[in-house]
Every structure is written in C-alpha cells, then in structure tokens.
Amino acid sequence: MEYPEELKYTKEHEWVRVDGDRAVMGITDYAQDALGDIVYVDLPEVGTEVTAEQSFCEVESTKSVSEIYAPVSGEVAEVNETLQDAPQKINDAPYGDGWLCTIRMTDAAEVDRLLDASAYQQLL
Amino acid sequence: MDERWRLFVDLDEPPSAAEQMDRDECLLEEVLDGAPPALRIYRWRAPALTLGRFQPDDHVDHDACDALGVEVARRPTGGRALLHGADLTYAVALTRPSDVRDSVEALYAHLARALIDGLARLGVRAEVASHDGDPGPVCFASALGSDLRVGSRKVCGSAQVHRGPAVLQHGSVLLDRLDIDEADLMLFEDEMARTTARGRLNDATVTLSELGAPTDAERVAAALIDAFGDVLGADFGPVGARLRPRRERLTST
C-alpha cells in the first residue's frame, strides 16, 4: 500500500494535502482496502462548517456504512461530485481521483498536529 | 475470556418498524458511550420493508406497501431492501474486538462464526457467502461476504454501520416465507422485470422451514444466544433470565 510522503494523515485514516489555506482530503489506501468496494458516498454540502475529528460524511461499502472524520476544522469549499456516479474512484485512486473534498481551514496549525507518513504507517 | 454482554429478546408485542430501527441504533450509541456489547433478537408486529441507509426511497412502491399493510422503515445500516415478517432479526452492537483485523470483511467473518454455530445447533450447515455480483435493489436477491448461505442459497443476510470504534450489525434469519415478497413492494420498469426479480429472489434464498429446521422463534433465538456465548464468549448472565422479554426502555425517544 502507498502512503505518499507529502501528505498528512489522521488516526482515523484520512489524508490531507495542504494548498495555501485549503486542505484537500480523502481516505487512505489502508482505509479503502479495509472498507471494501465503495458503492456510495454521502458528501457534505459546500459551505458546511466542519470540526476536526468530528464526523462529517459517510461512505457505504459492502453493506456497511462508515463515518468519515474531518481532519481539520473549517468550511467545505469543494466536493468531488464525480464520486456520485463513480464512488469506486476511492478504491482505484484514494489519493488522486478519489479525493472527497476541500476544506478552507480556519486554523492551519491543526495540520501540524496530524501524522506524517511514517507515523501513520506505524499505527497500522 | 468471557465478556459481559447485554441481551434483549423482543419476541412478544413488537413495536413499530421505525421503533425497531431506533432501538438498534440506540444500542450502537450506547456502546459508543461505553456500554457493554449487546445482542438483541426480535420479531415484527407486521410485515415491514426496511431500506438501506442510503437506498433511494423511489425504489419503493409506497402504494403497494400501504395496500398490503407493510410498514416501511429505514435502517441505520447499509445494504438494500429487505422484507421482514417471517424472519427472526438480530442486532449486535459492540466495539471492534482488538484481535479482529481492521476491515469490514473481517468483522463480518468474526460475527459469522457465531451465526454459523447457531444455525448448526438447528441442524443447518451454513457458510459465508462469496460476492456474486451487483446487488440490485433487493437485499436477498444477491449474496455478499456479509451473508450466510446453505449450498448456493442465502439463509441469513446482514448489514453494518460503523461509528468510531463502535459497530452495529443486524441481520435476518429466514424462518419461512410470507405470501408477499420484495418484488410486490418495489417499483420496476415493467411486469417482466418484476417477475424476473421475484424469480431471482426465490432462487437465491432458502428458509429454515424449507431446510426442515426448527422455525419456532424462541428456539432459534436460544440457539443464537447460546452460540454467541460459546463462540464469542458473550456472558449474558443467569441462564433462567435469558428469554424473559426485557421491558427496559432504551434511551431513544
């Protein structure tokens, strides 16, 4: 499995790529493998306020619904609408086309508290 | 080592379908708040169609449901439409065991050991089903690794929801068949599609009655309870108290 060095990770198996005041996020390769074939994503609406470590959307896989947690606090700026028709992108490319959303961060310092690739892999 | 579990056996005077789902979700929330694991086994007061958490409501023929006296409720768990009424339903709420690999499939396999053992106590040799393609809108019309089959036919379907470290899995053991099935209650493009779905459903499922196994709900419940105790180490407390319906109101209002 892959855990790109340039990303930050949460203990709940989300990843973050910081771009200015925005954080692109998704779920890790480990998470998509553990969930199995993803068949539906209940994406948040753009503008939704999210709080770090709080659940803010859900995915359904193999007759199982699982929560996804916000890695950082802020406002949902963009969601990956293509997942509505092709949720399997999360399985196929969790760090690429399977990204979930972009969060406009309210506290960029929260990123410093996330795990680097090495620390995340030690959790697994 | 045995672990203290809570047991709820609701075979008499079942509540509405929506209340059944509330009770199951309540068990999940309680486990998330630190309560011991729970097993609930129950029947239904009337035929009820439950839909998966995100299943589109427009799959359902609500007029047909009303005309046939079928309640409709949404499950907190995933999966597809399932008609209850001739089944025995179980709900398990627990924190993911530390010795179970961190995947949906592994947790299904963990709990399947108890379900398979329970069915074996009734003379039914079930095993975990393998994935057999697109599930379509009806739960029992296809099999996944979450389900148990006898031969090639599904006898128990299950679904999960995960919230943090807590998981709710509920499922349905087919005791017998009703006069109606899911094909009567869902919308199809035309009657041929409905007939095809009904045929697929009948071919894909088998009931305890058809297998010549006991169908008495208390006996099936007792087999499952004993299996959870022996296989998963669930300690439900004194034996004599097991099948007494619990009137304890869960916290959901």
Please indicate whether, in this complex, the C-beta atoms of A61 and B160 are within 8 angstroms of each other.
no
Q: In chain B, how many H helices and how many E strands?
A: 5, 12
Q: How far is B1 from chain A (nearest CA, A)?
A: 26
Distances (CA, A) of A87 to A40, A120, B164: 6, 25, 22
Is the pLDDT at B249 greater than 60? The verdict is no
Q: How far is B239 from chain A (nearest CA, A)?
A: 33
- Specify the higher pLDDT residue, B224 or B143: B224
Is the pLDDT at B132 greater than 70? The verdict is no
Question: Which helix H or strand E contains A67, and what residues bound it?
Answer: strand A64-69
Strands (E) across chain B are located at 3-4, 6-10, 38-42, 48-51, 71-74, 82-84, 87-95, 127-128, 148-150, 153-163, 166-174, 234-235
Mean pLDDT of chain B: 90
Please indicate whether, in this complex, the C-beta atoms of B54 and A63 are within 8 angstroms of each other.
no
Q: Are B184 and B65 in contact (CB under 8 A)?
A: no
* % of chain B at pLDDT higher than 90: 81
Smallest CA–CA distance from B163 into chain A, residue = A67
Give CA–CA dist B166/B29, Å, rounded.
8
CB < 8 Å to B164, chain A: 67
Q: How far is A80 from chain B (nearest CA, A)?
A: 18
CB < 8 Å to B104, chain A: 34-36, 61-62, 64, 66
Q: Measure CB to CB from residue A62 to each of B53, B102, B105 and give the nearest one.
A: B105
pLDDT digits (tens, 9 = 90+) for B71-99: 999 999 999 999 999 999 999 999 999 88
Mean of pLDDT values over B166-190:
96
ipTM metric:
0.90
Indicate the residue type of A4: P
pLDDT digits (tens, 9 = 90+) for A29-44: 999 999 999 999 999 9
pLDDT digits (tens, 9 = 90+) for B163-175: 999 999 999 999 9
DSSP-derived pairing of the beta strands B48-51 and B82-84? antiparallel
B213-228 as b/e: b if 16+ CB within 10 A = bbbebeebbbbbbbbb
Is the pLDDT at B251 greater than 50? The verdict is no
- pLDDT computed for residue B106 by the predictor: 93
Residues 6+ apart with CB under 8 A from B252: B22, B23, B25, B26
Residue B26 known to be catalytic: no
